[in-house]
Amino acid sequence: MLSIIVPTYCEEENIHPVVARIRAALDSRLEYEIVFVDDNSPDATAARVEELQRSGAPVRIIVRKDERGLSSAITRGFREARGDLLLCMDADLSHPPEAIPDMVKTLQENQADMVIGSRYVSGGRTEEGWGLFRWLNSRVAGLMARPLTAVRDAMTGFFVMPRPVFERAKDLNPIGYKFALELIIKCPCRNVVEIPIFFADRQRGESKLNFREQARYILHLKRLYDYRYGKISRFIQFSLVGASGVLVNLLTYAVLLKFGLREELAYAVAIWLSLTWNFVPNRYVTFDDSAHDPWLPQYARYVVTCALGVVINWSITMGLTHHMGWFKDHELMAPLAGIAAGTIFNFLISHAWAFRQTPLKK
């Protein structure tokens, strides 16, 4: 049996058309159910589904009153579905129901972990009039995910997978709207097949894609990188934050000197400001799983960590410069070695102590 999961919010105009097209594509071909998962829409979305249910259509609805979000809605639908095949699609008919039989057939013939209705394989296309910004946004989002998967349209919301593959997922923590990518990484899906589809523009209702959802995608992507690459991912983030702090340090120092502060005071302020600058993205991005901790003791631990890192940096730089002849002849190499050692030390102590994760109180 195929369970088709359709997440909704304010989609009353689309309920009848999407069900009609699914029934036209699947009736007499597959045993199926359509499960709408609605985030307590203030319009008549639920009423439209209930109308169809009373008329005998193979539909039902789950209304969530205490939770919001596209990915968590799909998770709920997958878990409560009755079928052994789980398919996700949008309610707005941007995903063609007519492609569902081919997706299911491809899944079964290839014994795939997932089959995706793809815009970006040969034969796939999007409706004309998408516009450069929307096309670029989709392509950039896809490129940002390429180190995680070779799938060309991992941003899709149109995919089907066997229930056993879904049930082997670990640590599902989806945010935003890119649930297929979450499942590809965490199930994990090793055999993903993409088939071409025509991706149509929404005809009724309003798109849910906005700047907030795009920001949530960035955070989701960061968490998937952490899941896949662990400390290496966090170290790269930590180093990028540190590089931005160097720019803040130098800019602050130059501005304060311009205003006539003494060098000693200007540099002290520059160090403090750059350190504080680094603390904020490290708390909320690099080590975001510890962001619920009180910030003041965390900040104090971070300051101590950085101070120790400076000592490590200075000690290694001076030691190499004064006791190893090669470094005397290559003046910049000793400071670089000191910076590298200080950065690694700062990261390890930050990870283990300054930003240590404490359990949330229940």
Question: What single string gives the DSSP state of each residue in 143-211?
Answer: HHHTTT---TTTT-S-EEEEHHHHHT--S----TT-HHHHHHHHTT-S-EEEEE-EEPPP-SS-----H
- Enumerate the H helices of 66-117 as residue ranges: 70-80, 100-110
Cβ-proximal residues to 280 (8 Å cutoff; 6+ apart), any chain: none
Let me know: does 130 contact 119? Beta carbons within 8 Å: no
Q: Is 8 left (phi over 0), alpha (psi -120 to 50) or beta?
A: beta
Give the Cα separation of 326 and 331 in Å (integer).
Answer: 9
| The two structure tokens encoding residue 203 | 């005809």
User: What is the reported pLDDT for 176?
Assistant: 60
How many CA atoms, within 13 angstroms, populate the side-chain half-sphere of residue 319?
9
User: What is the reported pLDDT for 249?
Assistant: 86
Let me know: does 34 contact 6? Beta carbons within 8 Å: yes
* Per-residue DSSP letter, 352: I
Question: What backbone torsions phi and psi does residue 357 show, to the nearest 5 degrees?
Answer: -85, 125
Let me know: does 159 contact 87? Beta carbons within 8 Å: yes
Per-residue pLDDT of the chain (362 residues; tens, 9 = 90+): 999 999 999 999 999 999 999 999 999 889 999 999 999 999 999 999 999 999 999 999 999 998 888 888 999 999 999 999 999 999 999 999 999 999 999 999 999 999 999 998 999 888 766 666 666 777 777 788 888 999 998 888 899 999 999 999 888 877 766 789 999 999 999 999 999 999 887 665 555 555 666 777 788 889 899 999 999 999 999 999 999 988 998 898 889 988 888 888 888 888 899 999 999 999 999 999 898 899 999 999 999 999 999 899 889 888 888 888 788 777 778 878 888 898 999 999 999 999 987 654 54
Let me know: does 171 contact 100? Beta carbons within 8 Å: no
pTM above 0.85, yes or no: no
Give the Cα separation of 228 and 231 in Å (integer).
Answer: 10
Q: How far is CA 200 from CA 29, 37, 150, in A?
A: 24, 22, 24
User: What is the reported pLDDT for 129?
Assistant: 63
Backbone Cα Rg of the chain:
26
Give the Cα separation of 225 and 111 in Å (integer).
Answer: 27
| The two structure tokens encoding residue 266 | 């200007």
User: What is the reported pLDDT for 362?
Assistant: 43
Residue type, 117: G
User: What is the reported pLDDT for 221?
Assistant: 86
User: What is the reported pLDDT for 207?
Assistant: 54
Burial label for 281, CB within 10 Å (0-12, 13-18, 19+), is: middle
Q: Which helix or strand (DSSP H or E) is residue 310 part of?
A: helix 295-323
Q: How far is CA 310 from CA 151, 237, 355, in A?
A: 43, 20, 18
| The two structure tokens encoding residue 105 | 């057939």
